[in-house]
Structure 1
Amino acid sequence: MKTVDLHTHSTASDGTFSPSELVDLAVKKGLSAIALTDHDTVDGLEEAIRHSEENYPDFEVVPGIEYSTVRNGKDVHIVGLYIDYKDEEYRAGLQEFIDSRTRRNRKICEKLTDAGMPVTYEELVEANPGAVITRAHFGRLLLAKGYVKSISEAFDRFIGDRCPCYVPREKITPQMAIEQILKAKGVPILAHPVLYGLGKDAMDKLVHEMKDAGVVGIEALYATYTPQDERDMKGLAEKYDLLISGGSDFHGSNKPHIDLGTGTGRLSIQYDYLEKIKDYKNNSNR
C-alpha cells in the first residue's frame, strides 16, 4: 500500500532536516510522496523538488506551505498544496506574511530582554541562516544561552500561548491565506483543527466558515489524533463536502515524538487521498 505525508517542515522554517534530507528520509521510510509545508515560506521547495527529481524519479514532492493566521484571537493554520510557488505575484503577497512574522519576532525579543533574558533578532537570524524564524528557534536559543533547561520549558514558562513573553500574530486572517492559495492555483486545507481545542458546535462553525471562505480540504488524519478525532473530522469532511488530507507535521528533533509518515506510531495516509487532491487540482484549473 502506497502511503504519503502531506504536512512536513524543513530547515526553511522550523524543522531540523534540510529539504534534501527530508526527501531522503521519506524515501528511506518507503513513502511515495510528501508535501513540504514550511511556515509562511516557499524557500525550501526548489531544493526538495530538484533533489527528488535528480535522485528519486518515482517520488513526488508536493509544493506546499502552511500559513499561520489568527481567527477570533486564536491561531488557525491553513495549508496550501500544489501552489504555483514560482509565480511572482504570489511571492510578493507572501512577503507581507513574512514581514509580519519578523515584526512579531522583534517584539518577542524585546519582551524576553525586558524579562532578564537578553535576546536579539539578529542573533536568531545568524544562528538560523535562511530560515523563517519561529518560536521553536527562540526555544533553542533560550536553551543554548542557559535561560531554560529545555525547549518545552521555554514554551511553558515564557513564549507559549498566554505566557509573559508571548506576542500574538498580527491580524492575518485565514481568509487572507485562503485567498492567496487560490490565487496561486493551490488547494487550501484546514490544518489540524482538533488542536484548536474547540467544542463540537464551535468546530462545526469553524469548518463551515472556512468552507465558505474557499477551503476545499481538511486534515482529518494527523499525528496526534485519536481514532475518535479521525471519525469526527471525517464526519465534518463528509458534511461539508471537503477533501481529506493529513500528515505528521514532522519537525525533526524539534518534535522528537513525531516521526515522518507515522506520527506517534499509528498514522498512515493512503496514496488515494493524494490522488483525490490531485484530481481536484487538475479539474479546477481547466
Structure 2
Amino acid sequence: MKDIVDMHVHTSASDGIFSPAEIVGWAKKLGLKGVAITDHDTVDGIKEAVKASEKYDDFLVIPGIEFSTLYNKVEIHILGYFIDYKHPDMIRITEKIKNYRSKRAALIINKLIKLDYDLNVSEVKALSKEGAIGRPHIARLLVKKGYVSSVQEAFEKLLQKGKPAYVERFKLTVDEAIHIIKKSKGIPVLAHPGLIAAGVDIEQIIQKGIKGIEVYHSKHSKVHNKIYLELAKKYNLFVTGGSDYHDEMVDGIPAIGRVFVSYDLVKEMKKYFFEGF
C-alpha cells in the first residue's frame, strides 16, 4: 500500500459515476492509504463509504464535503474535511440544497424540452443512481441520446451560465460554508484556487477563516503548485490535494489517486481535528 491519500473524490451521491463503496474498493485496489469523500453539497455518500472501508485493515475514509459558494458574485468552492456528517445543522443545510437541486434539474429539463430535446426527469434520476441530481447528469443524458458529443459540449452549448437551458442555483456564501463546516467540527479548505476567476483576492477569502488550501489538483500546473504552497506557508495552512475525481477512466481504470498528498500531511489534519480548535 502507498502512503498516499486522494483528498478530493466524488461519488454517485452527487455527480460521480461510482457508488461510495465502489470508490473505496477502487482506491484500495489502486493501493491508496485512503480517500476523502467530498461530494458536492451533500453528505449522503459518507456512511456507505465508511462502512465499505471497515472490511479493510488500516484504510482511511475522510468524511468531507465540497460546498459551492458565492463571493462577490464569483463561484468559490470550499472543502470541509473530518466533518461530523451527522451534525443536525450540516444535515439541515445539505437537505435544503438537495431539494433545490431537484427543482433546478426539473426547470432545466423543461427548458430543454421547449428547445425540442426529448428528455424527462426520470431518465436523469436513473443516471444519478438516486443521488443528488446535477447538471452533469443532464449533460450525460444529452450525450447518451446523441444530442451532443461530450459533457463539455453540453455545457458550452446549453447548460452553463448564459446558455439557453441555464438555471441559477442556490449557493451559500463563503462565510456560511466556513461557518457550517466549523460548526460540524470540520476543517475548511479552499478548493482548487487555480481555477478561481481572475481578479478574486484569494488572500481575502483565506482571512475569513480558511484553515487549508488545495495546493495539488488535476487542473493545477506546476506553477500553481508553487504559488499555493507558498501561500500555505505564509498563512500556516494545511496543504491538501486530490484528483477531483468524477468519471475519468484510463484504460478502463478510474483515475482515482492521480493527484494526492502524503499520509503524513493527512495525519497533521487528523491531529488538529482530534485536538479541537
TM-score by length of 1: 0.88
Q: Is the 8 A contact 2:249 2:255 kept in 1?
A: no
Determine if the alignment matches structure 1 residue 104 to structure 2 residue 86.
Answer: no
Q: Which residue of 2 aligns with 1:27?
A: 28
Aligned partner letter, 1:83: I
Q: Which residue of 1 aligns with 2:268?
A: 276
Structure-2 separation of matches of 1:173 and 1:251:
24
Task: State the 1:49 CA deviation.
Answer: 0.5
Task: State the 1:118 CA deviation.
Answer: 4.2
Q: Which residue of 1 aligns with 2:223?
A: 228
Q: Is the 8 A contact 2:15 2:136 kept in 1?
A: yes
Query: CA separation of 1:171/1:88 partners in 2, compared to 1, >3 Å: closer, same or farther?
Result: closer
When structure 1 is superposed on structure 2, of 248-257 and 96-105 the one drifting more is 248-257
Q: Which residue of 2 aligns with 1:117?
A: 117
Task: State the 1:175 CA deviation.
Answer: 1.5
Structure-2 separation of matches of 1:148 and 1:207:
39
Structure-1 separation of matches of 2:182 and 2:245:
25
Deviations 1:96-147 (A, max 9, x none): 2222322332332232222222433343224433211111101111122332
Q: Which residue of 2 aligns with 1:87?
A: 87
Task: State the 1:66 CA deviation.
Answer: 0.9
When structure 1 is superposed on structure 2, of 91-100 and 16-25 the one drifting more is 91-100
Deviations 1:185-216 (A, max 9, x none): 111111111112325xx3xx23322x333211
Q: Which residue of 1 aligns with 2:170?
A: 170
Q: Is the 8 A contact 2:241 2:260 kept in 1?
A: no
Determine if the alignment matches structure 1 residue 66 to structure 2 residue 61.
Answer: no
Task: State the 1:86 CA deviation.
Answer: 1.5
Aligned partner letter, 1:115: L
Task: State the 1:20 CA deviation.
Answer: 1.1
Aligned residues: 275
Q: Which residue of 2 aligns with 1:182?
A: 182
Determine if the alignment matches structure 1 residue 206 to structure 2 residue 212.
Answer: no
Q: Which has the higher helix share?
A: 1
Q: Which residue of 2 aligns with 1:39?
A: 40
When structure 1 is superposed on structure 2, of 187-196 and 126-135 the one drifting more is 126-135
Query: CA separation of 1:257/1:153 partners in 2, compared to 1, >3 Å: closer, same or farther?
Result: farther
Q: Which residue of 1 aligns with 2:246?
A: 251
Q: Is the 8 A contact 2:65 2:80 kept in 1?
A: yes
Q: Is the 8 A contact 1:69 1:169 kept in 2?
A: no
Structure-1 separation of matches of 2:272 and 2:141:
42
Give structure 2 stretches of 5+ with no counterpart.
none
Q: Which residue of 1 aligns with 2:50?
A: 49
Structure-1 separation of matches of 2:38 and 2:158:
26
When structure 1 is superposed on structure 2, of 36-45 and 236-245 the one drifting more is 236-245
Structure-1 separation of matches of 2:161 and 2:217:
21
Aligned partner letter, 2:151: I
Structure-2 separation of matches of 1:182 and 1:47:
23
Query: CA separation of 1:178/1:269 partners in 2, compared to 1, >3 Å: closer, same or farther?
Result: same
Percent of aligned positions that are identical = 39
Query: CA separation of 1:233/1:33 partners in 2, compared to 1, >3 Å: closer, same or farther?
Result: same
Give structure 1 stretches of 5+ with no counterpart.
none
Structure-2 separation of matches of 1:113 and 1:174:
34
TM-score by length of 2: 0.91
Determine helix, strand or coil for the equivalent of 2:77. strand
When structure 1 is superposed on structure 2, of 185-194 and 120-129 the one drifting more is 120-129
Structure-2 separation of matches of 1:215 and 1:101:
26
Determine helix, strand or coil for the equivalent of 1:213. coil
When structure 1 is superposed on structure 2, of 249-258 and 15-24 the one drifting more is 249-258
RMSD of Structure 2 on Structure 1 (CA) = 2.2
Q: Which residue of 1 aligns with 2:256?
A: 260
Task: State the 1:257 CA deviation.
Answer: 10
Structure-2 separation of matches of 1:76 and 1:258:
26
Structure-2 separation of matches of 1:187 and 1:171:
20
